[in-house]
Amino acid sequence: MTANAHATDNSAAQGFAEDASLTLNARNYYMNRNRQQQADDNIEWGQGFLGIFESGFTEGSVGFGFDAHAMLGLKLDGGGGTDNSSILPVSDGNGKAPGSFSTAGGTLKMRAFDTELKAGDLFLANPVIAGGETRMLPQTFRGVSLTNHSFDGWLIEGGQASFTKPYNQSGHTRIGTSYGTLAEGDESRHLNWAGVAWSGLPGLSSSLYAAELKDIWNQYYYDLDYTYALNEVVSLNPGLHFYHTQDTGDALLGHIDNNTYSLHFTLGIGNHSVTTAYQRVNGNTPFDYISQGDSVFLDNSQQYSDFNGPNERSWKLKYAYDFVGLGLPGLTSALSYSRGKLDLTKVDPDSPGYSAWYSADGKNARHWERDIELKYVVQAGQAKNLALRLQWATNRGGNGYGALDQDTDEYRVIFDYPLNVF
């Protein structure tokens, strides 16, 4: 995922009603987390519905518009101790998630020349604040955002978000973190971000972002990605992702001084591709990002593990194949193996936010993950764009890694049926 994907062309704008659109998506989601060291697994099955309306802009040098969305999640199965897979809301202690949850939101927007301002409930996707979209329903944020496309190949954006709607809840909460634990009563009031993304040359893209999660951290991000076609069959794709995170303000999670980077190289030959990646965390805290978010633009962030532990070094080998080469357009597959090594003895056992990562036996903690994915998207007919995705992840640890996590097998079956109403 890249920030450049959000560039839009306003040259063909028609008007408030003429440019309006309504899209619907029905997502059926089954998740099974088989915990090897405990009796109860996390198994849930749900049906989600998402509707998004986007207006155009009123005519004139300054145009106004309005967006709205509504979400509904229904429980099909999950309970009796099998809850808390992250598909459905967390139960109230009886081991059973509620039968349904829902939410709705709206956004006011204004456009002047090449600049667009939005205020309200936002769908965001950039390296420092990205709403999670890997579950039944997406995560949203409440705040303001500003984007500018004045220069060809450039995207400039920024904003502030004060609340988030988690992907498995109805209401809004303050923005938290994925791996840190805040003390009871502590919270961050908002997240500020700004960034620039560039894609001015064929195959080459780069971006630079900065964010402040108030009283927790300042986070900075840089990436560089280049795809070079040797000929019509063979392509080369090297790339870099880098994050620097440091505590700020009241430092509610304690001291943070973390540099994390990943490097990848992909060789594409026809419908085949092979990727190698190396990732390193330099710091005595894990690389952390906002709770439930997808703002972890690192090569070794896998289905189950992010390979982001304190002082972790990891590598990955991935093979992907597009079955269009066998006359089956829409069918794709991927197989990867990742392995990481951590030093958990350097974690501060008195850290207010990350003490749970400390392990006296974890100097050479290790874990590995195998991921398999098969996806098919219907190409034509009444069911065009209907997608089926099968995912399987196996994660195993040793040498003190068990203090952090359990050996896990995770299965996901996801059906998506998107529909453009107008």
pLDDT at 379 over 60: yes
Q: How far apart are the first and last CA of the chain?
A: 26
Angle at 358 between CA 355 and CA 359, to 5 degrees: 150
Whether 216 has a pLDDT exceeding 80, the answer reads yes
Say yes or no to pLDDT of 376 above 90. Answer: yes
Residue 319 structure tokens: 């093979």
Tell how many helices (H) and how many strands (E) occur in the chain.
0, 21
* pLDDT single digits (tens) 152-165: 999 999 999 999 99
The alpha-carbon radius of gyration of the chain (Å, integer) is: 22
**Residue spans per domain, the chain:** 3-420
The amino acid at 40: D
Quick one: CA dihedral 76, 77, 79, 82, positive or negative? negative
pLDDT, tens only, 223-246:
999 999 999 999 999 999 999 999
pTM > 0.95: no
Question: Would you say residue 259 has pLDDT above 80?
Answer: yes
Q: How far apart are CA 45 and CA 43, in angstroms?
A: 7
Let me know: does 220 contact 195? Beta carbons within 8 Å.
Answer: no
Helix (H, G, I), strand (E, B) or coil at 99: coil
| Residue 61, pLDDT above cutoff 70 | yes
Give yes or no for a contact between 350 and 358, defined as CB atoms under 8 angstroms apart.
Answer: no
Strands 42-54 and 272-282: unpaired
Write out the two tokens for 61: 């040098």
Rounded to 5°, the CA angle 269-275-276 comes to 140
Q: What's the mean pLDDT when you consider all of the chain?
A: 93
Distance, in Å, from the CA atom of 165 to the CA atom of 50, rounded to the nearest integer, reads 14
Residue-level pLDDT at 39? 59
Query: Where are any strands of DSSP class E within 78-181?
Result: 100-112, 115-122, 125-126, 129-130, 140-148, 154-165
Q: Which CATH class is domain 3-420?
A: mainly beta
- For residue range 355-365, what is the model confidence (pLDDT) as tens digits? 999 999 999 99
Q: Which two tokens stand for residue 11?
A: 């040259």
Rounded to 5°, the CA angle 348-351-356 comes to 80
Contact at 8 Å (CB) between 1 and 130?
A: yes
Q: Say which amino acid occupies 237.
A: N
CA distance 378 to 24: 17
Average pLDDT over residues 62-66: 96
pLDDT, tens only, 199-209 = 989 999 999 99
Name residues whose C-beta falls within 8 Å of residue 202's C-beta, 6 or more positions apart in sequence.
none
Q: What is the pLDDT of residues 163-193, one digit of tens each?
A: 999 999 999 999 999 999 999 999 999 999 9
Total residue length of the chain: 422
Question: Buried (b) or exposed (e) across 361-395, using 16+ Cβ within 10 A?
Answer: ebeebbbbbbbebebbeeeeeeeeebbbbebbbbb
